[in-house]
Structure 1
Amino acid sequence: MLESVEKETSTLKKFRFLSILEGISYIAFFITMPLKYFMEMPMPNKIVGMSHGVLFLAYVLFAYLVTEEQKWSKKSFGILFVASLIPFATFYVERKYLRKN
């Protein structure tokens, strides 16, 4: 799994916050999909989809930066990346691995 957090840096703090925002945007995207396809309301999906896309890219970038900064393995980056693809996984990773014990 992920290595433990060595030092609490500003990049890590931003990444923790970003992981929560990315998870929320993922959930919001699931909510707006039925609006688009069943209620013919595409605008909320367009706005949330764009926001989710930007947050996803920022999450992946910060995952890389934190992995380098903390001197974690490429496997750890892979775990963080896969977490961005699974609903609720960013919340789990933030709570379980990104907090300094």
Structure 2
Amino acid sequence: MTPATLYPALARTEAVTWALLLLGMVLKYVTRTTELGVAVFGLVHGVVFLAYVLVTVVVALDQRWTRRMTAAALVAALPPFATLWVERRVERSGRLATSWRLAPGGERPAHVLERGLARALSRPVLAAVLAGALVLVATAALLVVGPPGGRAGA
């Protein structure tokens, strides 16, 4: 996968999981038919949210996004569907290349974060497995902490 395929895929998936979570909330709080939608879609959205944040940081670092653009992309994960707006904006502005800048044979890393990313890009399967494990560990930790608003608000 390239930045031009990975970031849009996560941005769109994050928006879809927002829609599913909102549907679950309607079923729970409006129709009062089931709480299952919030439980299932909340977890799915949480996992995708964390993956989106991780991918955004990785792509922003590799593609040399400005701090402002990176912050906008990260904040866009909070309101429903805002990742779609940011995704279109970065695509139209040419901030998503079809190759990784720091991949083997690419540019030389300039600082420690770029060196870490370059090392990860030199072993993409291992990096993907480690990224997935990081997202799952973060998800597990957040599940132990509890849902937003506390358990009574769930």
SS class of match (2:76) = helix
SS class of match (2:64) = coil
Give the CA deviation at 1:96.
Answer: 2.4
Map Cα deviations across residues 18-61 of structure 1 (whole Å, 9 max, x no partner). 10010111111111112123414111211100000000000000
Alpha carbons 2:23, 2:37 under 8 Å: kept: no
2:43 alignment partner AA: M
Aligned length: 93
**Counterparts in 2 of 1:46-65, with a 5 A limit?**
46-65=39-58
Identity of matched residues, %? 32
| Aligned position for 2:23 | 31
| Aligned position for 1:14 | 6
| Aligned position for 1:85 | 78
TM-score (structure 1 length as normaliser): 0.81
Distance 1:19 1:98 in 2: 12
**Which runs of 5 or more residues in structure 2 are unaligned?**
96-154
Distance 1:96 1:68 in 2: 17
From the CA coordinates, give the structure whose radius of gyration is larger.
2
Q: Which runs of 4+ in 1 moved over 2 A?
A: 98-101
**Could you say which structure has the greater relative contact order, defined with CA pairs below 8 angstroms and 6 or more residues apart?**
1
Distance 2:37 2:82 in 1: 24
